[in-house]
Amino acid sequence: MSKGKVYLVGAGPGDAKLITLKGLECIKKADVVVYDRLASPRLLRQMKPGARKIYVGKRTERHTMKQEDINKLLVELALEDQIVVRLKGGDPTVFGRVGEEAEELRQHGIPYEIVPGITSSIAVPAYAGIPVTHRNLASSFSVITGHENPEKLDKMIKWDKVTNATGTLVFMMGVAQIGHITTQLLKHGRPATTPVALVRWGTRAEQETLVGTLEDIAAKVAERDFKPPAVIVVGEVVGQRERLQWAEQMPLFGRRILVTRSRSQASQLVDRIEEMGGEPYEFPVIETVMPQDEQQIQSIRQTFAHLEQYDWLFFTSVNGVEYFFRHLDEKQLDIRVLHRAKIAAVGPATIEALRVRGIRSEAPPENFDAEGMIETFGDRLIPGQKVLLPRGDLARSWLPQTLRERGLDVTELDTYETVLTQENDEELLDLLQDGKIHAITFTSSSTVRNLVAVLKRMGQTDAVQLLNTSVIACIGPQTANTAKELGLHVDLLAQEATIEGLLDVLCRWNASSERT
């Protein structure tokens, strides 16, 4: 019987970018990923098409699958000749029970690798501005489980040895036992004034820090109803937080922001959200594809056979540029066929898409929309001139109509089609229903319509009401109008119809509102 291979991978503390390069490579090549709740949903988007994902996570007081059953599952999947990734939060060797899983695989002769991850015991305090060691405060640290009941904890932990063994004590999964932990530390000699911090959901949008002392932290946890998962840090290094906290100072800290752009266009917005301390959640509701209709393909072929006749070439989107040049390449042509045409573009991203291809756009319009283009080039648009508009099948009709009213000869050419994504995302539904998507970004009318359509396909009878529980941010007035027509409230509108304009309005919103 042929056997697959199992990779026991540490996903890191929560922030998707804190996974190792090797861990990410394993996810990308896996046939199936077995994961728990501490693994970022964004990592699962790196899986190859057709790969399976199986949730076996554990929640407080409720286990989806027992550890013994997880062990057997990994064996069964590998015996099906599958490449399997067992994705665990943090590092799999730090209270991740990787030893049990690896032993089960070894007994069945199944090859496996352990891929270390960034442990939450170090990363989570770091995101709260707490270094676990400090030259003047702590030269060593201990990592201790706090997950067991008090009786078992007392059997496993030699409190008289552990309490003062190192400068810093880090307890994992110990929120429910915080009272017992502090009592034991006080009993065995730690001063009552010793600083303590609990960092909940560290590196994620929900990150929250509670600071106290051994004497009062248990009462504070009860008063705040501070829930797991959290890392507990005990020691003088906690005092560094007042000076070193950095994540909370970032302009989008604490916000999970839904990005609905097509996957090919989402990277800039996603990267900038991360740079500003937010947590982007990608769900591309639109996909762009080459035209499939034979009549449209023939129209493109005929138009490209006579490109030299055009006086103007107007691009209104990055996709318009990309697909135009894809067709140009397919026809074995290059830009020299447009030697007669003046080339203009709407918006800095579209202008940049031309620039990297060695083309300088005519003077950009002041307004980043079709209306701005007419205002900018109005006196240069002469009746009888031939204009080519390479665009998508859902583009607005305003620009070609206005050009025709001015007497220009306009050719509208659908060089790509916009289609509804076929993906479903149960994790996104859970986040929306739990109020954990703080803002939703729309960068085009099609992203608005398609997100509503996808949610309805996923069984949401009132998708608009569900979306209205989040802040709605639109890149421009046309997108906002579409959102309003569908019944969405538009809370934020970018002053400039650009990604930076959208980010600016999100940052101002976050600065002026309390995090919920």
Cα 402 to Cα 256, 309, 390: the distances in Å are 40, 21, 16
Q: In the sheet where 112-115 sits, what is the strand order?
A: 52-55, 32-35, 83-88, 5-10, 112-115
Over its C-alpha atoms, the chain yields an Rg (Å, rounded) of: 28
CB within 8 Å of 255: residues ≥ 6 apart? 205, 278, 279, 438, 439, 506, 510, 515
Q: Specify burial of residue 435 (Cβ count, 10 A radius: 0-12, 13-18, 19+).
A: exposed
CA distances from 76 to 23, 90, 297 (A): 22, 25, 48
Q: Distance (Å, rounded) from C-alpha 83 to C-alpha 119?
A: 24
Strand partners, 37: none
Specify which residues 52 forms β-bridges with. 32
Here the tokens at position 73 are: 């599952």
448, two tokens: 């608005």
What tokens appear for 266 in the block? 């989402």
Written as six digits, the tokens of 85 are: 């990734």
Pair type for strands 286-289 and 279-282: unpaired
Q: Are 391 and 324 in contact (CB under 8 A)?
A: no
Burial class (CB in 10 A: 0-12, 13-18, 19+), 132: buried
The DSSP output letter for 145 is: E
276 catalytic, yes or no? no
Of the residues 15, 36, 369, 414, only one is catalytic, namely 36
Single out the catalytic residue among 172, 173, 276, 373.
Answer: 173
516 C-beta neighbours (distance < 10 Å), count = 6
Looking at the DSSP assignment, which residues form a beta bridge with residue 55? 35
3, 22, 53, 58: the catalytic one is: 58
The torsion angles phi and psi of 397, rounded to 5 degrees, stand at: -90, -5
Strands 386-392 and 409-420: parallel
Check if 271 is active-site: no
Instruction: Just list the catalytic residues.
Output: 36, 58, 173
